[in-house]
């Protein structure tokens, strides 16, 4: 039996896992438990338990055999769960499907997520250390666990890592970053992606980048570091038409970014309302260029969709997405070196767009993603 362990407070990815299991040939060999009872979206095939040791033990007493445990993602609540699971099933193989926040949100790297404006904003709301504490307490561990992590979280991370056999991500550079933060020891890398381009954008040939707008960011999160991008593009020209997708995230931060953009550009459009998938990609097709200034693996679905449509995309050159896209041969650009008038006033050629589509299909086509899932579910 394969056990999938989620810590999904919203529930969207848990539903995707459940759907993949239902439509695979491995349905009877895979079960799901969510470490948390308050997910907004729930599935009848998922067992929801609280994140306490007592709940872990009670649940494990219902299990007769587990050969593989797959964490979506692997955080400190998952680590506590795994320690209990290993007492009953010591030979279980452990898979960590990376959501990126697990190691990028750690206290010794969190400042690297933000450029000056966003960092100042975060500090104005609360100290960075308090924010990390709050994040870990609410999303990663219980309150008792915080005291232990604050005292010696590096050792905790190393101990947690030593229990993992496979690290799974679509981007090999995430594995490299993991090894820099915490020596991976015996962990092996397995490529994996939740969603294929076919699920991200079901009507693949319906949308293409034909508009003249510059899209800045993909959400209203301070991690998007919009402010510095607005300043950099505005210094080139105030006449570029700008699209700001700010549907999800921090509404106060969104207001500050809108105010800044309006003070710089003559023509901006703010996307605030949630759209269905077709309407959303129709709106994104109005952007010929997209500048997404996240430092880590975020907005992957948006980025893949934009690449497919032929948008010229600019990413942080140190992000795993940019590094691996370049390695794969995708025609992609970076903010530090390429965000200039020439690149913002020329589009990708037809040949470049077609090359990008070919690579996206190779890496994120439904057949390839189903191969990834089959390895996990078998």
CATH of the domain at 266: 3.40.50.2000
Residues 211 and 270 in one domain: yes
Of the candidates 303, 294, 288, the one whose C-alpha atom is nearest the C-alpha of residue 363 is 303
DSSP H helical ranges for 237-365: 251-264, 277-284, 300-309, 320-328, 335-338, 341-344, 350-364
Number of domains in the chain: 2
Q: Are residues 108 and 203 in the same domain?
A: no
Tally of CB atoms within 10 A around 133? 17
Residues 185 and 41 in one domain: yes
Statement to judge: residues 21 and 56 lie in one domain: yes
Tell which residue, 142, 156, 163, 135, has the closest CA to residue 52.
Answer: 142
- 80 shares its domain with 63: yes
Chain Cα centroid distance, residue 40: 19
What is the Cα gyration radius of the chain? 21
Q: What local confidence, expressed as pLDDT, does residue 110 receive?
A: 66
Query: Taking Cα atoms as reference points, which of 341, 357, 340 lies closest to residue 349?
Result: 357
Q: Residue 106 has what pLDDT?
A: 62
Q: How far apart are alpha carbons 61 and 85 in whole angstroms?
A: 10
End-to-end Cα spacing for the chain: 9
62 in Cβ contact with 1 (< 8 Å): no
Predicted confidence at residue 109, as pLDDT, reads: 62
* Alpha-carbon distance values, 165 to 70, 77, 169, 334, 376 (Å): 10, 18, 14, 33, 13
Whether 187 and 230 map to the same domain: the answer is no
Residues 236, 106, single domain; the answer is no
Q: Which domain holds residue 23?
A: 2-113+143-192
Single out the residue in 192, 209, 231 at which a domain terminates: 192
Integer Cα distance of 245 and 254 in angstroms: 10
Percent of the chain surpassing pLDDT 70: 89
Q: Give domain status of residue 22, yes or no.
A: yes
**DSSP SS3 for 248:** coil
Beta bridge partners, 49, equal 35
Residues paired with 94 in a beta bridge? 69
Alpha carbons within 13 angstroms on the beta-carbon side of residue 328 total 23
Q: How far is CA 169 from CA 3, 14, 172, 230, 373, in A?
A: 19, 17, 7, 31, 12
**How many Cα atoms sit within 13 Å of 76 on the Cβ side?**
26
Whether 161 and 241 share a structural domain? no
Looking at the domain assignment, is residue 320 inside a domain? yes
- Identify the CA nearest to 312 among candidates 339, 336, 275, 337: 339
* Residue 58 token pair: 């009670």
Q: Tokens representing 378?
A: 């078998």
Q: Examine the domain organization and report whether 262 and 147 are in the same domain.
A: no
| Global confidence as pTM | 0.88
Whether 125 is covered by a domain: the verdict is: no
Q: What is the pLDDT along the chain (378 residues), one digit of tens a residue?
A: 999 999 988 898 999 999 999 999 999 999 999 999 999 999 999 999 999 999 999 999 999 999 999 999 998 899 999 999 999 999 999 999 998 777 666 655 666 889 999 999 998 886 544 544 444 444 444 434 434 444 566 677 777 878 999 999 999 999 988 887 666 567 899 999 999 999 998 788 899 999 999 999 999 999 999 999 999 999 999 999 999 999 999 999 999 999 999 999 999 999 999 999 899 999 999 999 999 999 988 899 999 999 999 999 999 999 999 999 999 999 999 999 999 999 999 999 999 999 999 999 999 999 999 999 999 999
CA distance 245 to 248: 8
Are residues 248 and 229 part of one domain? yes
For 323, counting Cβ atoms within 10 Å of its Cβ (0-12 exposed, 13-18 middle, 19+ buried), the class is: buried
Nearest 5°: the CA angle 123, 127, 131 is 105
Shared-domain flag, residues 102 and 55:
yes
Is 115 in contact with 227 (CB distance < 8 Å)?
Answer: yes
The reply to whether 373 falls in a domain is no
CB atoms within 10 A of CB 4: 24
Closest CA to 216 of 268, 171, 144: 268
How far out from the chain centre does Cα 364 lie?
15
What is the pLDDT, as a whole number, of residue 289?
A: 98
């Amino acid at each position: 039996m394969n056990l999938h362990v989620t810590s999904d407070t919203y529930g969207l990815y848990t539903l995707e896992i459940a759907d993949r299991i239902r439509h695979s040939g491995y349905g009877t060999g895979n079960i799901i438990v969510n470490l948390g009872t308050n997910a907004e979206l729930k599935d009848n095939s998922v067992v929801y338990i609280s994140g306490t040791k007592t709940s872990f033990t009670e649940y494990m007493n219902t299990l007769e055999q587990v050969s593989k445990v797959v964490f979506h993602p692997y955080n400190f609540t998952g680590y506590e769960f795994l320690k209990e699971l290993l007492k009953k099933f010591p030979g279980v193989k452990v898979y960590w499907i990376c959501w990126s926040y697990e190691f990028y949100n750690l206290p010794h790297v969190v400042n690297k997520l933000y450029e000056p404006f966003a960092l100042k904003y975060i500090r104005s709301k609360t100290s960075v250390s308090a924010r990390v504490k709050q994040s870990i307490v609410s999303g990663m561990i219980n309150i008792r666990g915080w005291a232990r992590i604050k005292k010696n979280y590096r050792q905790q991370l190393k101990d947690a890592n030593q229990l993992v056999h496979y690290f799974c991500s679509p981007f090999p550079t995430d594995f490299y970053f993991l090894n820099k933060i915490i020596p991976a020891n015996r962990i092996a890398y397995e490529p994996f992606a939740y969603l294929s381009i076919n699920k991200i954008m079901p009507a693949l040939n319906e949308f293409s980048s034909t508009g003249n707008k510059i899209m800045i960011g993909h959400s209203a999160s301070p991690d998007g570091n919009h402010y510095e991008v607005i300043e950099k593009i505005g210094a080139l020209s105030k006449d570029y038409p700008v699209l700001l997708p700010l549907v999800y995230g921090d509404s106060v931060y969104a207001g500050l970014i809108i105010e800044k953009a309006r003070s710089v550009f003559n023509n901006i459009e703010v996307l605030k309302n949630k759209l269905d998938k077709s309407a959303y990609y129709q709106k994104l097709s109005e952007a010929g260029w997209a500048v997404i200034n996240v430092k880590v693996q975020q907005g992957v679905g948006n980025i893949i969709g934009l690449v497919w449509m032929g948008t010229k995309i600019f990413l942080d050159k140190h992000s795993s997405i940019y590094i691996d896209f370049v390695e794969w041969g995708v025609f992609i650009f970076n903010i530090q070196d390429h965000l200039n008038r020439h690149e913002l006033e020329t589009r990708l050629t037809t040949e470049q767009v077609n090359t990008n589509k070919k690579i996206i299909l190779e890496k994120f086509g439904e057949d390839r993603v189903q191969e990834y899932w089959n390895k996990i579910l078998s």
